[in-house]
Structure 1
Amino acid sequence: MIIFIVAWCLSANICSYLQAYAPTNIAIAWLRTRRGINWAIPAALVVTPGCAWAADALVSILDRGGPPWLGFFAMLCVWNAFKFTLNALITPFRLAVSRQRRRRLKTLLRSQMERGQQPHSRDRSRRLRSGRVALASCRRTGT
């Protein structure tokens, strides 16, 4: 039981470390943000063939009798190509959901402003995060 707990904690720490410091994980995290979502497909079109080419080159070196530890880097290249490809496939759906959510929020805020109601606190925090709607509410109240 203790070995299971130690293994679980160790894998959780390794995962959090890799999420914070591995370059491809940082890139994927940025590509999932609001500013980077438009760059997800072009990035995948560049990175995926590059990683596939690097993996192929490493495997050919391994076939010619290269050091066996290069297999780890070949698998890492394949995994990174898979991550970017999957991110590019998911991006259009995430973008559509984001735009629909933004559109729904704008109509909700517009209807509340037309009725003269104060927006709910949850909507207000969202407005403060998005600059344009926050500016519109500041112009309305005169602050």
Structure 2
Amino acid sequence: MIRLLWTLSNSVRYYFRRYVPSDRLLDTIRTRRGLKWGIPAMLVAVPYLLLANLCTTLLANGGPGWLNLVVLVCVWNSFKFLIAGPVSVVLLVRARIREAIERRPARVSSEMLPGADYSMAEAV
């Protein structure tokens, strides 16, 4: 039974990541080239919240009950985009630190001239 639930949840996750536009945009933001767009992508949450507000207003005035699902999806997507901003900043900082560490040995070896004596006596 647990295996069936696990398989079903993986299938749903794959389908959403493949075909739902908000998940595709978030996957693009999580790439190395897209990390710089994390903070501006937080602005995408605003239209979702406005749509959720509109739907709740319609529900309060006697709208159809299926609008509750629209509100749920809009709020969920807005949270995803609001969280994507700070997460992308952390991932960008980690990536830049990793890249600086990888460049460091190459920079040190290119600054040293072959055959030169780099002893402490010459520095004094």
Q: After TM superposition, is the score higher than 0.5? A: yes
1:114, CA displacement in angstroms? 7.0
Q: TM-score, normalised by structure 1?
A: 0.71
Tell me the amino acid that sits aligned with residue 91 of structure 1. Answer: S
1:25, CA displacement in angstroms? 0.6
Tell me the amino acid that sits aligned with residue 30 of structure 2. Answer: R
Q: Deviations along 1:72-123, whole A, 9 cap, x unmatched?
A: 11111101110011011222221111111111001133446678xxxxxxxx
Task: Say whether residues 1:12 and 2:10 are aligned partners.
Answer: yes
Task: Say whether residues 1:69 and 2:56 are aligned partners.
Answer: no
Task: Say whether residues 1:85 and 2:71 are aligned partners.
Answer: no
Hey, what's the Cα distance between the residues in 1 that align with 2:19 and 2:106? Answer: 39
**Structure having the higher Rg:** 2
Instruction: Identify the match of residue 44 of structure 1 among 16, 36, 42.
Output: 42
* Unaligned residue ranges in structure 2 (runs of 5+): 113-124
Write the mapping of 1:49-64 to structure 2, written as runs, cut at 5 A.
49-64=46-61
> Identity across aligned pairs (percent)?
32
Over the aligned positions, Cα root-mean-square deviation in angstroms equals 1.7
Hey, what's the Cα distance between the residues in 2 that align with 1:55 and 1:8? Answer: 30
* Structure of greater relative contact order (alpha carbons < 8 Å, 6+ residues apart): 2
1:37, CA displacement in angstroms? 1.3
Tell me the amino acid that sits aligned with residue 65 of structure 2. Answer: P
Tell me the amino acid that sits aligned with residue 15 of structure 1. Answer: R
Q: TM-score, normalised by structure 2?
A: 0.81
Hey, what's the Cα distance between the residues in 2 that align with 1:109 and 1:6? Answer: 51
Hey, what's the Cα distance between the residues in 2 that align with 1:80 and 1:70? Answer: 15
Instruction: Identify the match of residue 92 of structure 2 among 92, 95, 109.
Output: 95
Moved over 3 A (4+): 109-115
Q: What residue number does 1:134 align with?
A: none
